[in-house]
Amino acid sequence: MRVIPGAWRRTAEGAGLLAADGSSRPTIFAEMSALAARTGAINLGQGFPDEDGPQEVLDAARAAIANGVNQYPPGRGIPDLRLAIAEHQLRFYGLRLDPERDVLVTTGATEAIAAALLALVDGPDDEVVVFEPYYDEYAACVALTGARLVTVPLAWPHFQPDLDALRAAVTDRTRVILVNDPHNPTGAVFSAEVRAEIVRLAEEADAVIVTDEVYEHLIFDEPHVPLATLDGAWERTLTISSGGKTFATTGWKIGWISGPADLVDAVLAVKQYLTYVSGAPFQPAIATGLRLPDTYFTDAAAALRSKRDILGAGLTAAGFAVSRPRGSYFTVADAADLGATDADAFCRALAESAGVVAIPLTAFVTAERRDRYRTLIRFAACKRVEVLEEAAARLSRLR
């Protein structure tokens, strides 16, 4: 039997991370991927691309391995990747970072999120505000810190937070406001008004903003606005991104976190005991990616936008109500008009009835709020066009 420290165990149980017998549960993503494999269904569940990213980036990783870049790199990340990250923030957003002090390379955005929360939050008197539905790691990591998770709901179909609900959630106990923009699982991009209010509230509560912007380049209607660029935001904001989504290299796990040196140092203090360092040969490859011409980034967004449109049209034709995403890999659809009352059961049946696998939105919410999202489903659009077209054809038979 595994021994789990009591405090974490209680919080984890409260957050629904453990099964009733105290064992850890397979995530819904693993479960649904297994269902897809078993039934031969098209897997629009887990968000990973089924095509390789840019050749230059893949070649750079191969060259690094061939050239002996295979031992522990520096804990903060290789200098050239930190420089490339700083260049990228300046080129796209006008943000000026000191690559020596303001940037830390992590093992994916996943580690950056975990290390930031563990560095900034401590115990049950601290609160972390997150927008719900949320990337499932957020609740798990808040549970690991023992802090209280405070959620602000995002409502169908636009998934913008209500400003009064946001104001009510942020108090003097708030240590971190954890933002994800563009948003997984909903595809929402926060409005300028919401962004400004997040910064204002963080200042008022003296909280740190941790912002997960892994979909910064996968945005369809407007240029991405990092929260760190807003007036007054920089000194209290840690910005997280990753090469995984931007360069279709989700298996490489090269992420980064940037912000004021004192906050980055606090994250490094934790990171060094989580993973010590991150994948050496992938770091120069991601540096190569970050220096690709603008057309790479705009083409990647345009390609995903047209995939979103194919998926959206297929879902609409099948009888779903569809929320039009403004960024990210994902589209949320409402299955209520197809008779669904419970998206979890509907998704399990969909694998058999339509041969398509997707994820119920209830996988991204706390237990008390399941009802609000009970007929909503997340579909991933980051698949080859012919796969999406086949999925659309299969779904159309639902009618």
Residues near ligand PLP, by CB under 6 A? 108-110, 135, 180, 184, 212, 214, 242, 244-245, 250, 253, 255
CB 274 to ligand PLP: min, Å = 12
Q: Which of 384, 382, 364, 383 is nearest to 374 (CA)?
A: 364
CA 334, CA 348: separation in Å to the nearest integer? 15
Nearer to ligand PLP, 127 or 181 (CB): 181
CB 139 to ligand PLP: min, Å = 13
CB 96 to ligand PLP: min, Å = 24
Nearer to ligand PLP, 184 or 288 (CB): 184
CB 286 to ligand PLP: min, Å = 10
Over its C-alpha atoms, the chain yields an Rg (Å, rounded) of: 20
CB 107 to ligand PLP: min, Å = 7
Nearer to ligand PLP, 99 or 187 (CB): 187
Nearer to ligand PLP, 205 or 248 (CB): 248
Residues 6+ apart with CB under 8 A from 9: 18, 22
CB 255 to ligand PLP: min, Å = 4
- CA 279, 285, 290, 295: dihedral to nearest 10 degrees? -140
CB 377 to ligand PLP: min, Å = 17
**For the packed helices 55-66 and 282-290, what is the interaxial angle rounded to 10 degrees?**
150
Q: Which of 39, 40, 31, 44 is nearest to 314 (CA)?
A: 44
Identify the H or E element spanning 153: strand 148-153
Nearer to ligand PLP, 135 or 320 (CB): 135
Nearer to ligand PLP, 331 or 394 (CB): 331
CB 186 to ligand PLP: min, Å = 11
Nearer to ligand PLP, 135 or 346 (CB): 135
Burial call 98-115: b when 16+ CB within 10 Å, e when fewer: ebeebbbbbbbbbbbbbb
Structure tokens that stand for 74 in this block: 């520096």
CA 70, CA 334: separation in Å to the nearest integer? 47
Whole-Å CA distances, 304 to 310, 331, 356, 360: 10, 11, 19, 22
Residue of this chain nearest to ligand PLP (CB atom): 108
Nearer to ligand PLP, 194 or 214 (CB): 214
CA 12, CA 390: separation in Å to the nearest integer? 39
**102 residue type, one letter:** D
- Cβ count within 10 A of residue 192: 10
